[in-house]
Amino acid sequence: MDIDLITNILYAMIRTGTPLLIVALGEMVCEKSGVLNLGQEGMMLMGAVAGFIATWLTGSLFFGFLMAIVAGVVMSQLFAMIALGLNANQVATGLALTIFGGGLSAFIGSSFVGKPIDGLEIIAIPFLSDIPVIGKMLFAQDLIVYLSFVLFGIIFWFFRSSRTGLIVKAVGENPHAANAIGLPVLRTRYLAVAFGGAMAGLAGGYLSLAYTPLWAENMTAGRGWIALALVVFASWRTERILLGAYLFGLASILHLVAQGLGFAVSPNLLAMLPYIATVLVLVMMSRNQGRSKMYAPISLGKPFHAGA
Amino acid sequence: MNTPTASFQPDRPKRLIMQGITKQYPGCLANDSIDIDIGVGEIHALLGENGAGKSTLMKIIYGLVKPDAGEITWEGDKIRIKDPAHARKLGIGMVFQHFSLFETLTVTENIALALGDEAKDMKVLAEKIRTVSARYGMALNPDRYVHSLSVGERQRVEIVRCLVQDIRLLILDEPTSVLTPQEVDTLFVTLRRLAEEGCSILFISHKLNEVKALCHRATVLRAGHVSGACLPTEEDASSMARMMVGDETPISMAYDKVQGQDIFLQIRGLSRISEDPFGVDLKNINLDVHAGEIVGIAGVAGNGQEELLAALSGEDIIKNHDAIHFPCGPVGNLSPEKRRGKGLAFVPEERLGRGAVPDMSLKDNALLTGFLTGLIKNGMIDHESTDSFAKKIIKKFKVKTPNSGTHAKSLSGGNLQKFIIGREIMQNPRLLIAAHPTWGVDIGAATAIHQALIELRDNGAAILIVSEDIDELFQISDRLCALCDGALSPIKPAPSTTVEEVGRWMAGIFDTDVCDDELFDKKSVSAQATATAVQTH
């Protein structure tokens, strides 16, 4: 393998891993507050279609990403109204949101399938992007990739040192105790869900506006589900989510490379690789129950009734 | 003894006055026009049995529950307490019975969460926690994670969390139920000191001797209304008990202590590493339970009781099968069902979910452990005998329920407890293991359960009781020991040990054969011996 191939593999690894990283970070914040939103796939699809249509109509990528985020937030608040406002079962509500988002996005986007737009440009940072091997991977990416680095840093800091992060953790661990000491349980949860929605919408927009700048029905291809698995197997730890997302990216690229090099393995089997590799590695890492329990939100998925 | 009345001034200004407080829950009048007032610097007891309305009243004070009617006057102003945040702002703090702490956070983080914006700088707060906890004699390390703290330490965190704020009224809900007798004494010193500084304290309890030792005044609740008010130092325990339970109920009984016959349950070298990071490892436990005796295991919750019970009941299979013996041989590798087949009956700590299935009828719940007593014929359920078995339990143990078809979850805690205990006792087990047999049960029912246990013992069954209630253990156990951090203390016949000694065991001090005087004597003897040795040289 020559050095160019490795450079390109690493570059593509980041690009492929980015949407997964964004949506998984959002879901992690949501789950840390004790809310299990299985609607990631639906919110991503709505973000993708809303972003694509907005950009196609106005020509503005900025407006496209904005609409992608708005679509994600709107979907997430639909979930919040039912699951938090009416205390419905979170699993069922989330599943319904995914099915709803998949159908609605296909319906809205049906006349936009195959239409072309100009995707997000690569911004190479002078000098830094010339560093061999890692220069292209880290410093010749598009804006959203850079944004995902920043978001990772913020969320890492948020749960490590911020008071608000502490409140989110507390609400996810024991909402009744949090209520008893006067913390706003429901408001925290609504906001966490909205943040998860914004991130899912952004990730969806990234797929349809940057990664493959076009709209296709069901184009998220299960990334929302992988993100959900990622959060659990990463034991709700920010740095492990980053690792898992890029691992998934790497495995996705490797299977394309393997096909290109003409390995005599069924391409269908190779296509399974990213999913299997990601899950396997993270399962191995989260095998120590004791460690992961320190980070898991204990009241995940349990509805909260004030005053009960 | 420190008598609280000495410092009592009836004319002290009132901090909190509540008048005509009423709260109606569906099917239950929890608070019926309750009047109570608490003075500045007063320690006021709120006495009552489980279900008397104590919890509801204090939740109203703390803003967790809104009253249907009634007036609250706080330091002279009529107010409505909107929510806990509002209550905290007024200077009302509460220490919950089931702590409202976050296990995965540190002590400082837990306290910071309750403080709001004042707690911006964690280092300053940690320092403040150190000073406050040292000042009131409650040592705390602010950097420890709460899940690594003992129950007593957790309570300190809750109290310190109230103290770092400007506290005017401290509510403590059954604070002593999780403490060793020595820890109770330390807590009382802290509370008296707080009261002397002008803080009002509402002390919720059903333990009369504690109320007598600590409180200036007492209000007694029964079935949702005030059944009496008194000065605890001028009453004796039985007159206060009468106010609590009414006239009809027998209050307590003394039972004969007996010696057991042959060993039924033999535990030898039982050790187990807990898989739960918040669990406790069992450390080399040795214990014999003889037929025809009651052995009591005291201890503060979370010291390995759950783990020990799971190993004994068969929920956890232990690696070393020989560690648990019945007369028929080692049973450490047998399932709960097989152990039941060999004479075991088991009453778990959790009533709903473990002791009974909430959504099943009492009849079906009776079948769940009673299936070995001929309720199943050729693999089919014999509905008729199952139903009559359930009805027998309901009748004998006075379970208040419309019929045997009622769902387990619709029974009150105490009623369900009677049913579960009854179900196990009626099977005439040769070994009964029961956790907290009278937890949450009213005094009358507790007496009935005690009598049934004694009767079972006198019929030759071996009985092992795990309880946090030290008075109960002394009342019914023939021999006593305590569990601390997964290790078992020495065991002694109940009449030859004391509450203080068991309290030391509960705190992990097991060297009970050497009491202080003896220690002193030995020292002087050995000093003499040394002196003689020196002289002869």
Which pLDDT score is estimated for B536?
39
Chain-centre distance of CA B451, in angstroms? 20
* φ and ψ of A62, to 5 deg: -60, -50
C-alpha distances in Å from residue B388, one per residue of A146, A177, B301, B428, B474: 73, 43, 36, 16, 35
Which pLDDT score is estimated for B249?
63
Give residue limits of the domains in chain B. Answer: 4-91+166-245, 263-506
Q: List the single residue in B64, B116, B278 with the smallest CB-CB distance to A180.
A: B64
Higher pLDDT, residue B385 or B50: B385
User: In this complex, do B84 and A179 lie within 8 Å of one another by their Cβ atoms?
Assistant: yes
Rg (CA), chain B: 25
Instruction: Give the DSSP H/E element, type plus range, for residue B344.
Output: strand B344-347
| 3-state per-residue secondary structure call for B441-467 | CCHHHHHHHHHHHHHHHHCCCEEEEEC
B99 has a chain A CB within 8 A of its CB: yes
pLDDT in tens, B234-290: 887 777 877 877 766 666 677 888 888 899 999 998 888 887 767 788 999 999 999
A307 has a chain B CB within 8 A of its CB: yes
List, as ranges, residues 107-166 from A with C-beta within 8 Å of B: 163, 166
Distance CA(B10)–CA(B517), nearest Å, equals 44
User: In this complex, do A163 and B102 lie within 8 Å of one another by their Cβ atoms?
Assistant: no
Which pLDDT score is estimated for A165?
92
**With contacts defined as CB-CB under 8 Å, which chain B residues touch A182?**
83-88, 114, 116
User: In this complex, do A293 and B277 lie within 8 Å of one another by their Cβ atoms?
Assistant: yes
List, as ranges, residues 211-240 from B with C-beta within 8 Å of A: none
Strands (E), B178-328: 200-205, 217-222, 225-230, 263-272, 282-290, 294-298, 324-326
B511 has a chain A CB within 8 A of its CB: no
A88 min Cα distance to partner chain B (Å): 20
Residue reference for tokens 């196990």: B424
**With contacts defined as CB-CB under 8 Å, which chain B residues touch A170?**
102, 105, 113
Task: List CB contacts of A102: < 8 A, sequence separation 6 or more.
Answer: A41, A42, A45, A218
Which pLDDT score is estimated for A288?
66
Which pLDDT score is estimated for B527?
40
pLDDT band at A308 (very low <50, low <70, confident <90, very high): very low
Lowest mean pLDDT among A85-99, A181-195, B224-238: B224-238
A290 min Cα distance to partner chain B (Å): 5
* Average pLDDT rounded to a whole number, residues B112-134: 82
What three-state secondary structure class fits B494?
Answer: helix
B113 has a chain A CB within 8 A of its CB: yes
pLDDT in tens, A238-283: 999 999 899 888 988 888 888 777 777 787 887 787 778 877 877 7
Neighbours of B521 (CB within 10 A): 11
pLDDT in tens, B477-491: 999 999 998 899 999
Which pLDDT score is estimated for B378?
82
User: In this complex, do B88 and A167 lie within 8 Å of one another by their Cβ atoms?
Assistant: no
B281 has a chain A CB within 8 A of its CB: no
Instruction: Classify strands B380-381 and B376-377 as parallel, antiparallel or unpaired.
Output: antiparallel
State the average pLDDT for chain A. Answer: 89
Structure tokens at A227: 């993100």
User: In this complex, do B65 and A295 lie within 8 Å of one another by their Cβ atoms?
Assistant: no
Identical fold for domains B4-91+166-245 and B263-506, yes or no, is yes
Angle A81-A87-A90 (CA atoms, 0-180°, nearest 5)? 85
- The closest of B469, B449, B443, B463 to B397, measured between CA atoms, is B449
Does position A129 have pLDDT exceeding 60, yes or no?
yes
Strands (E), chain A: 122-124, 140-142
* φ and ψ of B259, to 5 deg: -105, 140
Residue in chain B closest to A161 (alpha carbons) equals B122
Q: List the single residue in B65, B102, B120 with the smallest CB-CB distance to A177.
A: B102
* Average pLDDT rounded to a whole number, residues B348-355: 82
Give strand pairing partners of B431: B344, B462
Sign of CA dihedral A285, A288, A289, A291: negative
Residue in chain A closest to B63 (alpha carbons) equals A180
Which pLDDT score is estimated for B10?
61
Does position B518 have pLDDT exceeding 60, yes or no?
no
Neighbours of A127 (CB within 10 A): 9
**With contacts defined as CB-CB under 8 Å, which chain B residues touch A177?**
96, 99-102
Structure tokens at B341: 């087949």
State ipTM. Answer: 0.77
Which pLDDT score is estimated for B530?
40
B80 has a chain A CB within 8 A of its CB: no
Higher pLDDT, residue B431 or B84: B431
Which pLDDT score is estimated for B252?
64
User: In this complex, do A182 and B99 lie within 8 Å of one another by their Cβ atoms?
Assistant: no
- The closest of A244, A291, A224 to A27, measured between CA atoms, is A224
Which pLDDT score is estimated for B524?
41
User: In this complex, do A163 and B104 lie within 8 Å of one another by their Cβ atoms?
Assistant: no
Give residue limits of the domains in chain A. Answer: 3-293
Higher pLDDT, residue B534 or A142: A142
| 3-state per-residue secondary structure call for B139-186 | CCCCCCEHHHCCHHHHHHHHHHHHHCCCCCEEEEECHHHHCCHHHHHH
A237 min Cα distance to partner chain B (Å): 14
Q: What type of residue is A299?
A: S
A308 has a chain B CB within 8 A of its CB: no
User: In this complex, do A289 and B105 lie within 8 Å of one another by their Cβ atoms?
Assistant: no
8 Å CB contact between B282 and B307: yes
**With contacts defined as CB-CB under 8 Å, which chain B residues touch A298?**
103-104
Instruction: Give the DSSP H/E element, type plus range, for residue A301.
Output: none
User: In this complex, do B96 and A307 lie within 8 Å of one another by their Cβ atoms?
Assistant: no
Structure tokens at A235: 């034991």
Residue in chain A closest to B117 (alpha carbons) equals A163
Which residue pairs from B56-60 have beta carbons closer than 8 angstroms and sit at least 24 positions apart in sequence?
Answer: B56/B23, B56/B25, B56/B30, B56/B31, B57/B18, B57/B21, B57/B31, B57/B221, B58/B94, B58/B171, B58/B173, B58/B202, B58/B204, B60/B18, B60/B21, B60/B23, B60/B31
B113 min Cα distance to partner chain A (Å): 7
pLDDT band at A60 (very low <50, low <70, confident <90, very high): very high
B213 min Cα distance to partner chain A (Å): 30
Considering the segment(s) A3-293 as one domain, its CATH architecture is Orthogonal Bundle (1.10)
Please provide the distance, in angstroms rounded to a whole number, between the alpha carbons at the two ends of chain A: 63
Distance CA(A228)–CA(A246), nearest Å, equals 15
pLDDT band at A306 (very low <50, low <70, confident <90, very high): low
A287 has a chain B CB within 8 A of its CB: no
Considering the segment(s) B4-91+166-245 as one domain, its CATH architecture is 3-Layer(aba) Sandwich (3.40)
Crossing angle of helices A185-206/A223-233, nearest 10°?
A: 130
pLDDT in tens, B167-177: 899 999 888 87
What three-state secondary structure class fits A140?
Answer: strand
B58 has a chain A CB within 8 A of its CB: no
User: In this complex, do B105 and A166 lie within 8 Å of one another by their Cβ atoms?
Assistant: yes
User: In this complex, do A181 and B103 lie within 8 Å of one another by their Cβ atoms?
Assistant: no
pLDDT in tens, B491-505: 999 888 888 888 889
Q: How much of chain A, in percent, has pLDDT values that exceed 90?
A: 56
Looking at residue A128, what DSSP letter applies? G
Q: What type of residue is B384?
A: E
pLDDT band at B9 (very low <50, low <70, confident <90, very high): low
* Average pLDDT rounded to a whole number, residues B66-92: 89
Chain-centre distance of CA B277, in angstroms? 23
CA atoms within 13 A on the CB side of B97: 13
* Average pLDDT rounded to a whole number, residues A282-298: 71
B448 min Cα distance to partner chain A (Å): 31
* Average pLDDT rounded to a whole number, residues B212-239: 85
Neighbours of B50 (CB within 10 A): 16
Chain-centre distance of CA B33, in angstroms? 29
CA atoms within 13 A on the CB side of A186: 14
B124 has a chain A CB within 8 A of its CB: no
pLDDT band at A289 (very low <50, low <70, confident <90, very high): low
| 3-state per-residue secondary structure call for B22-76 | EEEECCEEEEEEEEEEEECCCEEEEECCCCCCHHHHHHHHCCCCCCCEEEEEECC
Q: What does pTM read for this prediction?
A: 0.73
State the average pLDDT for chain B. Answer: 83
User: In this complex, do A166 and B112 lie within 8 Å of one another by their Cβ atoms?
Assistant: yes
Residue reference for tokens 């803003």: B63
Lowest mean pLDDT among A29-33, B13-17, B505-509, B510-514: B510-514
Which pLDDT score is estimated for B223?
82
Q: List the single residue in B83, B96, B278 with the smallest CB-CB distance to A182.
A: B83
Considering the segment(s) B263-506 as one domain, its CATH architecture is 3-Layer(aba) Sandwich (3.40)
